[in-house]
Structure 1
Amino acid sequence: MIFGEVLVGEAEGAILAHSVSVQSVSGHISSLRKGHLLTRSDIETLHAAGVSRVTVARLEETDIGEDDAASRLANELEIAGVRIGPASTGRVNFFALEGGLFTVDPDVIDGINAVDPAVTIATLSDYDRVQSGQMVATVKIIPFAVDAGIIERIEKRISGRAAFGVLPFRPQRVGLIQTVLPSVKPSVLDKTKRIMEARIARNAGTVCGEMRVAHRMADLKEAIRQMQAACDTLIVFGASAVADPADIVPQAIREAGGTVHHIGMPVDPGNLLILGELDGKPVIGAPGCARSAKENGFDWVLDRLMAGVEVTPQDIVGMGVGGLLMEIPSRPQPRQAEPAARPVTVAIALLAAGQSRRMGGPNKLLARIDGEPIVRLSARRALASGGSPVIAVLGHMAGEIEAALSGLNVTTAINGAYAVGISSSIKAGLLHVPADADGMMVLLADMPALGPDHLKRLIDAFAKAGGSAVVRASFDGKRGNPVILPRSLFGAIERLTGDVGARHLIETGDTPVIDVEIGPAAMVDVDTPDDLQTAGGVIA
């Protein structure tokens, strides 16, 4: 590929390497986007706007265009349980066909990435839980084209080797046994049952029965024998933690005729898990932390078993690297003195990529309030709030929106997939959040009633919570916008798909949520011409 700056008159038929905004004699601003194939009409437009030179790329005879290269590589991969998406801007995404566990051969992925930096592939981690429709991998061609020889070298390297896939959860009948001591409240047992039913249901299984027996060897042994016949997997919760290989739960598995393969695991919480087997069916002695819905080592074992993956003692031993490390408040450990805490920092993602469909044509963000475009008004107020950096996420009419932000100290993030919905814009903003930022504020660019003080109050509340909580604007007890998402949710945000924001992550997760009353501004946005008129705005 030939790349460089040329005279505009020599650029016809070349690929534009950088977006160019041009203003006509009438004052109308238009944009030629990066990756656009320049036509004779484009050349005339550039000449008329006074642009004399542009940076372009030209394909050589052996080059493959970015979309064709991405599609070719995607279709050469040996994959299972995933759907290949369309190519766009040199990228092809892969999506899970069903809920299950993602599996990947790191050697295959590393081998592809080692051939040439122009061709990249990224995936989720091995054995990550995924939902139907979730993105699990992406191929990205970095330049506008690559030499065919590079793709051919990759094809030879991956031929005959399974790259990745999704193992769907298999419907299973799961039996539940809980032992009882006087110190164990019935409410604890009831809660454990409810949580286990939810865990198993999300894996396409059902709890086929429950037994509660005294925490005695003979009683538990008989319960295991009875329950095992009616289920595919058996889970045992002991009323007290296992303290020895000869303790009640592991010994009862043996006395019932089963085998105990492994006791303990290098995952915390989850250390006290027991892995056993009876008549070819898994028997799990659950650690006490599995009574909670929070992720723990028990989930890692249960998910694999319900996806049809055999779990061996060697598998459990290998879970230490990258394992969970969560301190339990009831048993805090002494720590060395830590350095003074640094200030909590918040980046702001200003979402300005939407298509303004409900406005009936005009882009609402270019409408003016007191002579200023709404998007510029929102950006100025974000800059004055104390959040940094302010990341303007652009998509629809990106050139015009970027021009409206001219002169402001904002970072621009282009969302080429803006038509997919708001999740794509949130993820595009996240890519530009500094590594040391504690959180990201998601700020809609069409909320002109929000002032810097409103935003600062949210940031202050986030800092007061140590950067570990979701902070959400509210009005009269009703949730509104904007919202600050802590770094602990960034991984989940990266897996969002479709026209959905982070609301379900907030409402179904374990992260604390702090609602900050800021008044009607939390609810006022501009979606329709009536909204615009009410806000005092006019179409430019």
Structure 2
Amino acid sequence: MQKVDTKEAVGMVLCHDITMVIPGKFKGAAFKKGHIIRAEDVPELLKLGKDQIYIWECGAEFLHENEAAQRIAGASGGEGTTFTEPGEGKVRFIASVTGLLKVDVQGVCLVNDIEEVALSTRHTNLIVEKGDMIAATKVIPLVVKREKIELVEQVCKERGPLLEVKEIQSFRTGLITTGNEVYHGRIVDKFSPVVKEKLSRFDCPVPFHVILPDETTRITKSIMDFIKKGADMVIITGGMSVDPDDVTPSGIRATGAEIVTYGAPVFPGAMFILAYLGATPILGLPACVMYSKATIFDLILPRILAGERVTRREITRMGHGGLCLDCPHCSFPSCSFGKSV
């Protein structure tokens, strides 16, 4: 600590709280420890009887907590993120667009392995709204060694931004409803309305829709026709089990599409299929999508609409956190379903 004349303290850092008392109205810190003194603070400090104050001598090898937090945020934040001004040493990351939050989980762990540094985020692959808080950072002490923040910056330089928000795109979708029982009018199609409603949340139109019997060749032909007409994505409902008359997987394979996975370690949604015909994603949805509020479809769809090409390894890793508890009052996505470390 160093005692200095208040009038000479502009730009210096308070090392203790300065209390203000207004009888019957207020008692508390007028200026908090760590506050960087501004020119307009000087008259107020003098009114509080502080002709001299104690300031923190950082030294060139140290950074104040506010500057440290700003540097961490600047290094780790990427596209679709912005930051608040420091408050009590903490900087908050804010989504500057509505989209898919992407977190480099391993990178965040490497940053938090650096002593006295704290970076806390929301889960990766979460849909966030513009203005949502997505992360926060600070250092633990009032001042921190400069070299520790430089280590954070080095991690981010090597790995790239640790957080970003990818904007969601509007995909023109081709929807194929399968099933002899629906095609022949024996039951009402209750599947398509559910899928269309979920797509509407992301402003995805469905200009192409057909109801087909359980016939491989007709499913294959409709997929190809929709893509030729300009569909950005094709979704097929029904026919996804292993029964002999469930031919949706065969219809998808017959297009020549690359099958990423037939099956996923996610409940509900184990019988899900994901394929790509060139750049066009093809999704085969199991029956659970029709009646369960949250399924594999809700986990994969935002990633596809954010322009990601989902891999088999990414899907197999969804087993951790992929068990829905089927709560009586569903709170998805504000629950553990689909979340992983």
* Common topology (TM > 0.5): yes
Tell me the residue number matched to 2:140: 142
Q: Distance in 1 between matches of 2:293 and 2:333?
A: 17
1: distance between equivalents of 2:139 and 2:179?
59
Closer/same/farther in 2, CA of residues 16 and 279 from structure 1, 3 Å limit: closer
Q: Which amino acid is the alignment partner of residue 114 of structure 2?
A: V
1:88-115 CA-to-partner distances (Å, cap 9, x unmatched) read 2212222223222111222321222121
Gaps of 5+ in 1: 7-11, 48-53, 329-467, 470-485, 493-540
Question: Is the 1:59–1:65 contact (alpha carbons within 8 Å) kept by the matching residues of 2?
Answer: no
Residue pair 1:264, 1:272 contacting (<8 A) in 2 also? yes
Contact 1:173 1:232 in 2 (8 A): yes
Separation of aligned partners in 1, 2:188 and 2:288: 12
Which of 117, 120, 123 lines up with 2:121 in the alignment? 123
**Which residue is 1:309 aligned to?**
308
Once the two structures are superposed, the pairs formed by residues 54-133 of structure 1 within 5 Å of their partners are: 58-62=56-60, 63-77=62-76, 79-117=78-116, 119-133=117-131
Q: Unaligned stretches of 5+ in structure 2?
A: 4-8, 336-341
Give the 3-state SS of the residue equivalent to 1:319 in structure 2.
Answer: helix
Contact 2:65 2:139 in 1 (8 A): yes
Where does 1:251-400 land on structure 2 (aligned, <5 Å)?
Answer: 251-292=250-291, 294-327=293-326
Q: Counterpart of 1:209?
A: 208
Which protein, 1 or 2, shows the higher relative CO under an 8 Å CA cutoff with sep ≥ 6?
2
**Offset at residue 46 of structure 1 (A):** 7.7
Structure 1 residue 181: Cα displacement:
3.3
Task: Name the residue aligned to 1:31.
Answer: 28
State the partner residue of 1:237. Answer: 237
Task: Give the counterpart letter for 2:149 in structure 1.
Answer: I
**1:250·1:260 contact (CA, 8 Å) conserved in 2?**
no
8 Å CA contact 1:213–1:223 kept in 2: the answer is: no
SS for the counterpart of 2:113 is helix
**Residue 178 (1) aligns with residue 146 (2):** no
Question: Conserved in 1, the CA contact under 8 Å of 2:240 and 2:248?
Answer: no
Sort the Cα spacing of 1:67 and 1:188 in 2 relative to 1 into closer, same or farther, 3 A: farther
Partner of 1:385: none
Quick one: distance in 2 between partners of 1:153 and 1:271? 42
Aligned to 1:153: 151
Q: Deviations over 1:129-175 (max 9, x none)?
A: 22222222222233333232322232233324212211211222111
Q: Distance in 2 between matches of 1:304 and 1:180?
A: 28
**Percent of pairs identical after alignment?**
26
Counterpart AA for 1:248: V
Alpha-carbon distance in 1 for matches of 2:232, 2:312: 20
CA contact (8 A) 1:70 1:87 kept: yes
> What does the per-residue CA deviation read over 1:24-50, in whole Å, with 9 as the maximum and x for residues that have no partner?
4xx443432433569696587489xxx
Q: Which residue of 2 aligns with 1:374?
A: none
Q: Secondary structure at the match of 2:211?
A: strand
Q: Is the 8 A contact 1:83 1:97 kept in 2?
A: yes
Alignment match, 2:339 = none
Q: Hey, what's the Cα distance between the residues in 1 that align with 2:75 and 2:259?
A: 43
| Match in the other structure for 1:476 | none
Superposed displacement of residue 266, structure 1: 0.5
Report the AA paired with residue 26 of structure 2.
I
The root-mean-square deviation of aligned C-alpha atoms, in Å, is: 3.5
Letter of the 2:273 counterpart = I
**TM-score calculated relative to the size of structure 1:** 0.51
Q: How big is each residue's C-alpha offset from its partner over 1:307-343, in whole Å with a ceiling of 9 and x where there is no partner? A: 1111122221111012232349xxxxxxxxxxxxxxx
